[in-house]
Amino acid sequence: MEQIPQEGRKGPSHREVPRFVGLLLAMVLMNVLLYLCLDWFFISPRSSAVDPSSCPHGYFRMGHMTNCSPWLTCEQLRTEVRQLKRVGEGAVKRVFLSEWKERKVALSRLTRLEMRDDFLHGLQMLKSLQSKHVVTLLGYCEEDNTILTEYHPLGSLSNLEETLNLSKYQHVNTWQHRLQLAMDYVGILSYLHQSPLGTRVMCDSSDLPKTLSQYLLTSNLSIVANDLDALPLVNHSSGQLVKCGHRQLHGEFVAPEQLWPYREDMPFQEELLPSYDEKVDIWKIPDVSSFLLGHVEGSDMVRFHLFDIHQACKSRIPTERPTAQDVLDTYREVLHSLRDTMMSQTREML
């Protein structure tokens, strides 16, 4: 057979052919892998926080603790907890980053004795509502007016924007994660509205900054409720309704039924204010969720898909508003359908 001299050939050399085929194979393999792993890319794996409810009542587990420990007693709080620095303060509590057995913890101290009833109510709620939706209680001492909880270094939801702007969190500053946060928030409301203690209203939420300050952002970027000092009970079957606080409320953040319904020149009297139910929390969902969605690529697309459910939340007639569970179901559907659309678009491109 006639041998074609190597140099005279126009096509790839013997050595180039396998290299070329190898490259092609690698590209095909990468595409297949990418195709198969799309689910993983779009459905962000959120390392699930240890669920405090997996410990029996009166016990806690946090971080990498393998066993459940009993809540710390007054004696232990006094001797084993070292107060380090103040990290927050509200109307009821002053909160200190502290140390317990080389772990960071949050020690809350009552600020003013006049607020003791709210402080004790909050403690009671924390004790009874321990779950993945609520900050983990580590101990308390009624005598000293102290509460010990798990410390969350990212602080309250008010810090969300500056946290997500850090380069460390750029990869999670996406519409998917932000919608997940909105789902956490609505999930907490849904839990409070159907809690083991009946229907509870998140009353400490007369404006957006105040509302955000009652929730903490965990290190794996989920939300837990922290301040449960104002959770009055609604009992529809016995006709028990609530009034949030004792003062006149203003503005559009609160539900219309929370506003003074009489003429401006008529002096405010708490007794004259009609009471209301948990639907006041639903009214506030669109504003809080919009804050959580922020302004990243895709946020407006999500807002567009949530338009109808948010409009329903803003119904002036409370009974026409959806339940928190309805809102959560809609958020979940939107998340899944947008992910499916994005995945099929990406697959088509491959």
Ligand X SMILES: Nc1ncnc2c1ncn2[C@@H]1O[C@H](COP(=O)(O)OP(=O)(O)O)[C@@H](O)[C@H]1O
118 counts as binding Mg ion under rule CB under 5 A: no
Considering Cα of 159, then 162, then 165, then 166, what sign does the dihedral take?
negative
- Give the CA-trace dihedral at 224, 226, 227, 229, to 10 degrees: 90
279 binds, among Mg ion, ligand X, none (CB under 5 to 8 A by kind): none
Q: Which segment (58-66, 149-157, 275-283, 305-313) binds ligand X by CB under 6 A?
A: 149-157
181 binds, among Mg ion, ligand X, none (CB under 5 to 8 A by kind): none
203, 216, 273, 302: which one binds ligand X (CB under 6 A)? 216
Q: Which segment (219-227, 260-268, 300-308, 340-348) binds Mg ion by CB under 5 A?
A: 219-227
118, 150, 184, 227: which one binds Mg ion (CB under 5 A)? 227
Write out the E strands in the chain: 59-60, 69-70, 81-89, 93-100, 103-110, 137-141, 146-150, 199-200, 215-217, 223-225, 233-234
The nearest distance, CB 226 to Mg ion, in angstroms, is 7
The nearest distance, CB 245 to ligand X, in angstroms, is 13
Q: Which segment (49-57, 224-232, 271-279, 306-314) binds ligand X by CB under 6 A?
A: 224-232
The answer to whether the beta carbons of residues 80 and 72 sit under 8 Å apart is yes
* Contacts by 321-326, CB closer than 8 A, 24 or more apart: 321/279, 321/282, 321/283, 322/282, 323/190, 323/193, 323/282, 324/186, 324/187, 324/189, 324/190, 324/193, 324/278, 324/281, 324/282, 324/285, 325/190, 325/193, 325/194
The nearest distance, CB 341 to ligand X, in angstroms, is 37
Strand partners, 21: none
98 counts as binding ligand X under rule CB under 6 A: no
Nearer to ligand X, 176 or 226 (CB): 226
Q: Please, what's the b/e burial string for 98-107 (b: 16 or more CB within 10 A of its CB; e: otherwise)? A: bebeeeebbb
Nearer to ligand X, 50 or 87 (CB): 87
Q: Which segment (34-42, 64-72, 209-217, 238-246) binds ligand X by CB under 6 A?
A: 209-217
Q: Which segment (10-18, 151-159, 181-189, 323-331) binds ligand X by CB under 6 A?
A: 151-159
Site residues (vs Mg ion, CB under 5 A): 90, 214, 227
Give the interface with ligand X as residue ranges (CB under 6 A).
Answer: 87-93, 95, 106, 108, 135, 149-152, 155-156, 213-214, 216, 226-227, 229
